[in-house]
Structures are given as structure tokens and as C-alpha cells.
Amino acid sequence: MIPRYQKILLAVLLIASLGMGFKLWELRERAHKHLLAGESSAPTAAPVVAPAEQATLVAANDMDNSLVPQVHSLPLPADPGARARAVLGKLLDLYAAPDSTHPVPGGAASVAQVFLMPAPGTKSSGNSGDQLAVVNLTGAFAASHPSGLETESLTVLSICATLRANLPGVTEVRFLVDGQQRPSLAGHADLTRTYLTAEATPTEGNRQ
């Protein structure tokens, strides 16, 4: 014979568990509706167009193996990572132009992301300000890049020099292709190493 108080306790626990289950179901439905509402929501504010600024693009020239700084005016976001992506996109747009001195197809869309982080070896406090830029290129860009020691090296070095010219805090650059490390850009330029931007300074052509 079950005591009466136990029957009452069992009934109360049963009612409480059913109530909590119902509440949980309701919360789940509410969260799902919130998620769907967020995905379908239209922008409520117009995107802010960054003001045009002067940017230095260090452009490569295949004919004399040189890197030449050029000043261009283009909208530059305030965020350093987005800024780096914007200048590199403009640089690769120059290379994709028909009269380019360093023809490489792809254009601005070839730079998927640029991540900025404290350079390895610098103090965690970040007092030195040295930064490592990780440039994530698209696989399509690497696949369509002309193959050769000179042309691949010029692409890599011009990206490093352009980052240094516009973001002086960037001292080191690493490259990824579709988010993965890759041995070379198109069979020649080594993408496994860390490039020092100080070593990618523009040089006069050395043609004989």
C-alpha cells in the first residue's frame, strides 16, 4: 500500500516535469522564429561608404623585375583588416587590367580575407605593434596565376610591399590559399615561409 503523501508527491513531480517540458518546447520554438526572422531581415540602414583616401600600391613590372610605388585614391575602411583587403584588391585589379605590367587574372575578388594578428615573437602586451598579416588567396587565383620564378615572386613581394606601405605595423606576411597552407603559388614562389615586409622594399629594375 503506497502512502498518500507519496502519491501526492509523485503527482506534483509529474505535473512539474510536464510543465517544464512544455516550457522548453515553447522556448525552442521562440528561438527558431528569432533565427528565421534574423536571416530574412532586410538591411535597415544604408551601408556606410568609406571616404576615399590615398593609398600606395607597390606594383610589379615583369619586364625589368621591378617593384614601383604608385599612389591611388580609393575608399578605405577604418578597420585595418578590411583596409588591407581593400588595398590588395586594388593592387590585383591593376594586375588584371589589360595593359598591366604584371598580368595576373583574378582581380580584387582573389583576396578572400586578410587577418591581422600580433607578430610571433613580439610581447603579448603588443607594445611593439608588429603585426603578422595572413593573406588568404582564392584557389582560382593560384590556379590561374602564370607560372615562373620571376612572375610569382613579384606577386608575393608586391603584396608584402603594399601591405608595408599602407600598414607600417605589418612586419610579417604569410599566405594561405582557400584557407590552407600550400607549397607554392603556381609551382615556384614558396608559400610555406613567413615573408618579412622589410625585405620586400621596392627596387629599381636591374635589367642589363
Partner 1 sequence: MHWSNTLPSWVTQDSISGPPTNSSWFVGWRRPGWGVKTAVNLLAAIALSPPCFAQTPPPPAARFVIVLDAAHGGDDAGAHLDSGQFEKTVNLALSVRLRSLLAARGIQVITTREADTSVDIYQRAAIANHANAAVCLSLHASESGTGIHLFASSLQPAEPTRFMAWKTAQAAWITRSLGLAGAVNSALAHAGLSVTLGRIPLPGIESMTCPALAVEIAPQRDSDNKITAEPDTPDYQARVAASLAAAMLEWRSDPNRTEARQP
187 binds partner 1 (CB under 8 A): yes
64 binds partner 1 (CB under 8 A): yes
34 binds partner 1 (CB under 8 A): no
User: Is 114 in contact with 170 (CB distance < 8 Å)?
Assistant: no
CB of 109 to partner 1, least distance (A): 22
148 binds partner 1 (CB under 8 A): yes
Give exposure, 2-30, as e/b (b: 16+ Cβ within 10 Å): eeeeeeeeeeeeeeeeeeeeeeeeeeeee
Give the per-residue contact string, 76-115, with partner 1 (x = CB under 8 A; - = no). ---------------------------x------------
Q: From the CB of residue 202, how many other CB atoms can be counted at a distance below 10 Å?
A: 18
Residue carrying C-alpha cell 506534483: 12
Please give the size of the binding site for partner 1, defined by CB under 8 A. 26
Pairing of strands 66-75, 195-196: unpaired
Report the alpha-carbon angle 72-75-78, nearest 5: 120
Among 77, 105, 118, 150, the residue binding partner 1 under the rule CB under 8 A is 150
Q: How far apart are CA 208 and CA 194, in angstroms?
A: 31
User: Is 159 in contact with 88 (CB distance < 8 Å)?
Assistant: yes
Question: Using CB under 8 A, which of the segments 13-21, 32-40, 163-171, 192-200 binds partner 1?
Answer: 192-200
Nearer to partner 1, 67 or 165 (CB): 67
206 binds partner 1 (CB under 8 A): yes
Q: Which residues bind partner 1 (CB under 8 A)?
A: 62-65, 103, 146-151, 153, 157, 186-190, 192-193, 195, 199, 205-208
